[in-house]
Each structure stands twice: as structure tokens, then as C-alpha cells.
Amino acid sequence: MSGAGFHFRAYGLTIGSDFEVLEAEAVVPSRPELTIRRADIPGSVFRFDDFRNYRITPDGDLIEFQDVGRFLVRNPTAIEVDVEPQFDRRLIGMPLLGPVFSVLLHRQGLLVLHGSAVMIGGTAHVFLGDKGSGKSTTAAALIASGFPLISDDVVAIERLSSGQLVVRPGYPAMKLDKHMFSSFPKGSYTVLQPDDGCYTAGKSRVRLKARMPRAAVPLGRIHCLARGTRNAIRPLSQPEKLHALIRFSHYPRLGPAANVPAQTARLFARAAALALHIDADILTVKHSLEEISQLGPFLACETENARAFT
């Protein structure tokens, strides 16, 4: 039994934590698979220019955030945290469940993508895209229509010993634009941080009340989003799939230390091994928010058609 004060689940892991994480689902205390504990962590001797700084140290992967604190992924079962005194600890889930967990899951051998995953027809549909492509809006519209959220921002794909690819369930929270709130039923969410918050980039951080999958969900398809006048799918070739998996991986976003040759080669090998077993496409989505909500039946039908020819 862990002596940690808080216990929750995220990304398929039972977690014992010294910090409360409002976004995550609380669970009955048990022996944790991951421990998050307070620690004194020395910071950089210089003030880095960006909001975030990532380094690989002899003690593990260290991520520093300006005016927030330091997070050390010591090993695949332990994260140490040193929070700045002025930081509002109610917001700790923002850096912890995002960049920090992306490193943890990467070190556990998973392919970690920057996107959103929604369950459609019993499988995980993953939405990827550049900023402004509408991946969050598309996922939110589907969730508001009743399709369960699997993960937002950090999408972790795991290959089981059986060879099956699955997506680990994240936590029941996401960021929403103002125009998305009217699509959600009244009382279906709680606002954790409004869109004027200093870490939400103009979006509100909300916790969804609908239950999300407890177990990992079989991977269906990966969709790279585009906008157009009609919903359409164009399958990606094998080289295009590999390019997309690397381009939208979370780890390289951490900066120079994550893009040295040894780290790049490791990510390339992992993506190449999985690309052979992944179905991916360019998904053109209609501009209309109302029509985006109809995307679920379209994808479910396309998935069934694909199965019929395999």
C-alpha cells in the first residue's frame, strides 16, 4: 500500500500521488504501478528562454516549466515533482498529464502521439493534425454527440504481447473552445479552469462526467485531418503513414534534447515497426460544426467497409 495521499488512474496505470490531480479519476487506494512524489530537484543554472525546458540527466528525464516547477521522470514507475511556491497546485494536472506523462509513456516503450482519440464502433479513432486543423474541435463534436473520449492531447499506442495494437485510456478531461460548450448537454462537464487561465491558451479546461473506457481500446484507424466540402477518406501509403507517425509524435516536441540522433533513431524504429500494422488516412472533414457531429456514423460505416475487404 502506498503512503501517497491521492490515488487515481490515468493511461492504464494505477497511481499513488502526493499531489491531487483534479482531471483524473480517483480510485480506491492500492499498490500503485506509478508513484508521484515530492522531491527537491535542482533546476537549470541559467534561465531558459522558453516556457519549457527538457533535459536528459543521469537521474532521468527532467522537464522544467517557468514559474511552475521541475518534473523528473526518474524511471518508468516514478515521477518526482518540485513545485514553485507561487504555483497554484490545483493546476498541476496541466503539465503533469501532458508533457511529463508523454515522456513517461515514451520511456515505457509506447508510441505517443499528439492528438485526440475517440471510441467509435468499439475501436479507437485517433485524430491528428497541425495547429488549427480542427482535431480538438472534431473530437469534441464527436464526444458531445455521445462517442466516448479515450484520450485528449496525449495518445499512447501500445502493442500487446498478442500483437494487437491498443490505445490506453487517458483521463476524463479536455480543453474546449468557447463555441463548443453549446454542443454539450447541460451538466455533462465541470469547468476546472476557464479560458482566461494562464495555461489554457484561450480554451477552457473541463472534466467530463460521462464514463470513459477503463481498459485499453483496440486501435481502429488514425486520421490526419484536412478541411473540405465533404467528408472523405484517402488511405495513406506506407511511407506516408511512417511520416505521419513521426511528425505527430509527442516526444520530438520537447525540443533539442529529444531530437539528438540516438533519440531520433529510437523513435523512428518504434514508429516503423508499428506503421506496418496501422491503418491511417487523410480524413477530410466538413467545415460546419453541426456536420462534424455526423462524422461518427460516417467513420463507423467506413470501418465496417474496410473490415469487409480484409
pLDDT value for 307 = 45
- Please give the torsion angle defined by the CA atoms of residues 289, 291, 295 and 301, in that order, rounded to the nearest 10 degrees: 180
pLDDT value for 29 = 87
Residues of the chain with confidence (pLDDT) below 70: 1-4, 45-48, 132, 196-201, 287-294, 302-310
Q: Is residue 269 part of a domain?
A: yes
Q: Are residues 156 and 249 in the same domain?
A: yes
Domain stops at, among 74, 107, 140: 107
Q: Is residue 84 part of a domain?
A: yes
CB neighbour burial string for 163-201, b if at least 16 within 10 angstroms, e if fewer: eebbbbbbbbbbbbeeebbebbeeeebeebbebebeebe
- Which residue bears the cell 466540402? 229
Of 85, 121, 62, residue with least CA distance to 306: 121
pLDDT value for 299 = 78
Q: Are residues 151 and 230 in the same domain?
A: yes
Residues pairing with 65 in the sheet = 52, 69
Q: Are residues 91 and 233 in the same domain?
A: no
Domain stops at, among 107, 130, 150: 107
Q: Are residues 34 and 81 in the same domain?
A: yes
pLDDT value for 9 = 95
Q: Are residues 73 and 202 in the same domain?
A: no
pLDDT value for 1 = 43
Range of the domain at 23: 6-107
Q: What is the DSSP letter of 100?
A: I
Q: Is residue 1 part of a domain?
A: no
Q: Is residue 219 part of a domain?
A: yes
Of 178, 294, 158, 207, residue with least CA distance to 20: 207
For the chain, the domain total comes to 2
Q: Are residues 154 and 70 in the same domain?
A: no
The answer to whether 6 touches 21, Cβ cutoff 8 Å, is yes
Q: Are residues 102 and 132 in the same domain?
A: no
Q: Are residues 48 and 183 in the same domain?
A: no
pLDDT value for 310 = 36
Rg of the chain in Å (alpha carbons): 19
Q: Is residue 73 part of a domain?
A: yes
Indicate whether this model's pTM tops 0.85: yes
pLDDT value for 285 = 81
pLDDT value for 309 = 34
Provide the grid cell at 14: 494505477
pLDDT value for 306 = 47
